[in-house]
Amino acid sequence: MELKGDVEIKQVLHYGSLNNMMMTVFGKYYDFGENGDGLELEGFVSEGYKLLGTFNLSDHFPILGWLDVQGVRRRSRKLVSKVDGFVRKIIDDHSMVTDQDNNHGYFVDVLLDLERENKITRSDMVAVLWEMIFRGTDTVAILLEWILARLVLHPDIQAKALAEIETTIGSSRAVMESDIPNLPYLQAIVKETLRMHPPGPLLSWARLAIHDTHVGQYFVPAGTTAMVNMWAIAHDKGIWSEPEEFRPERFIEQDVSVMGSDMRLAPFGSGRRVCPGKTMGLATVHIWLAVLLRNFEWTSKDDVDLTEVLKMSMEMKNPLVCKVVARVF
């Protein structure tokens, strides 16, 4: 999809992220234009997010569960059936092409090899692949939207990142993954955005208190579910200086890992239940950001609204719309 003029950022990035994941998993690109072959796939992903984000009365009033008042269970069964058929067909098609071309370069090929060794069933394969597609799409788009929103508001930071890219990479070749370690300021921008706008503000490794206990000064009665509030940690004045200021330089001044070893900033969680896609997600964000900054100038069409809304992830309440101008080399 070509970028020019006024662009609604999340929509473009969502399609791009979905295609990136489908290429990684199956080696297949989709067309999300009018009457494109990707519209069915996009519909499945969107419906899944809607269902998971629905306030389901049955979760809070179990007596209503059998009634399925909101139709959540019915819609879920219908979606599961459609997704199962969709993914199975792609696997079958890919398997035939793989056998003919002897091409084993995609994630599905790894699972097909395991299936041949009777180490995984086709149903398990469908579940793993859909989880990758579903969970690996929107978070990348949402994080990049927040990053671009901050860069639009801070043109000086955008200019500094561009200068680093031009000095390190130049304009004669494409950005490569191997360039990212040599772009510390770009990495700092990503870290600072993850600090201010963690996609998952409440980390998903919840714990249930079996007995009455104390955590610091707080009494936690038995039966309480406790979650780590990463948003609160990342905005704590006792941990971060000027936490409301967007200042990537703080991560140049001190090395803080975002991979789970430093709880001051662990947006992907930590321990055994850390996000399994964190490395791939970060690599994608870094490369895409470098490409977007080197090839385009980003300014705002209207006032940028940084109001947050929590759905499946922490999103911008009002989608970011940017004026995009191609850079001339």
Instruction: Please give the full DSSP string across 70-123, using - where no structure is assigned.
Output: T-HHHHHHHHHHHHHHHHHHHHHHHHHHHHHHT---SHHHHHHHHHHTTSS-HH
Distance separating alpha carbons of residues 85 and 107, to the nearest angstrom: 19
Are the C-beta atoms of 313 and 14 separated by less than 8 Å? no
- Among residues 111, 136, 161, which one ends one of the domains? 136
Strand partners, 214: 219
What is the pLDDT, as a whole number, of residue 94?
Answer: 85
267: closest CA among 292, 232, 240?
A: 232
- Is residue 154 over pLDDT 90? yes
104: in domain: yes
State the average pLDDT over residues 205-222.
90
Co-location of 170 and 246 in the same domain: yes
Co-location of 127 and 191 in the same domain: no
Co-location of 93 and 57 in the same domain: yes
Co-location of 145 and 123 in the same domain: no
- Is residue 318 over pLDDT 70? yes
Co-location of 165 and 240 in the same domain: yes
pLDDT bracket for residue 4 (50, 70, 90): low
Expressed in angstroms, the distance from the first to the final Cα of the chain is 21
Co-location of 79 and 117 in the same domain: yes
pLDDT in tens, 86-134: 999 999 988 877 555 555 678 898 899 899 999 999 999 999 999 888 8
- Is residue 22 over pLDDT 80? yes
pLDDT in tens, 35-93: 888 889 999 999 998 888 888 888 888 888 788 888 999 999 999 999 999 999 999 98
Co-location of 291 and 217 in the same domain: yes
Co-location of 248 and 116 in the same domain: no
**Residue holding tokens 């990342």?**
234
Integer CA distances (angstroms), 8 to 3, 218, 267, in order: 10, 44, 25
2: in domain: no
pLDDT bracket for residue 1 (50, 70, 90): very low
Q: Using N-to-C axis directions, what is the helix angle for 39-52 and 72-101, rounded to 10°?
A: 140
Co-location of 206 and 244 in the same domain: yes
Q: Which amino acid is at 148?
A: L
Q: If you ran DSSP here, which 8-state letter would residue 222 be given? A: T
35: in domain: yes
Q: Where are the beta strands (DSSP E) in the chain?
A: 5-8, 207-208, 213-215, 218-220, 225-226, 296-300, 308-310, 314-316, 321-326
323: in domain: yes
263: in domain: yes
Co-location of 127 and 258 in the same domain: no
| 3-state percent helix, strand, coil for the chain, nearest multiple of 5 | 55, 10, 35
- Is residue 306 over pLDDT 80? yes
Distance separating alpha carbons of residues 214 and 320, to the nearest angstrom: 43
Q: If you ran DSSP here, which 8-state letter would residue 191 be given? A: H
Distance separating alpha carbons of residues 28 and 151, to the nearest angstrom: 32
- Among residues 110, 136, 162, which one ends one of the domains? 136
As given in the structure block, the two tokens for residue 130 are: 């859909």
State the average pLDDT over residues 202-206.
79
Of the chain, the percentage scoring pLDDT greater than 70 comes to 96
165: in domain: yes
Distance separating alpha carbons of residues 126 and 2, to the nearest angstrom: 32
> What's the mean per-residue pLDDT of the chain?
90
- Is residue 220 over pLDDT 50? yes
What is the pLDDT, as a whole number, of residue 305?
Answer: 94
Co-location of 97 and 171 in the same domain: no
What is the pLDDT, as a whole number, of residue 87?
Answer: 94
State the average pLDDT over residues 8-12.
89
295: closest CA among 323, 272, 329?
A: 329
- Is residue 177 over pLDDT 80? yes
Cα–chain center distance at 299: 23
State the average pLDDT over residues 260-288.
90
pLDDT in tens, 233-257: 999 999 999 999 999 999 999 999 9
What is the pLDDT, as a whole number, of residue 100?
Answer: 52
What is the pLDDT, as a whole number, of residue 3?
Answer: 60
Q: What CATH code is carried by the domain that includes residue 217?
A: 1.10.630.10
Angle value at C-alpha 37, between 34 and 43, nearest 5 degrees: 80
What is the pLDDT, as a whole number, of residue 251?
Answer: 97
What stretches of 204-247 show up as alpha helix (H) in DSSP?
Answer: 230-234
Residue 161: give the domain boundaries. Answer: 138-329
Helix (H) or strand (E) holding 125: helix 122-135
What is the pLDDT, as a whole number, of residue 102?
Answer: 54
Co-location of 288 and 175 in the same domain: yes
pLDDT bracket for residue 137 (50, 70, 90): confident
Cα Rg of the chain, angstroms: 22
5: in domain: no
What is the pLDDT, as a whole number, of residue 271?
Answer: 84
- Is residue 272 over pLDDT 90? no
Structurally, the chain folds into a number of domains equal to: 2
4: in domain: no
- Among residues 103, 136, 169, which one ends one of the domains? 136
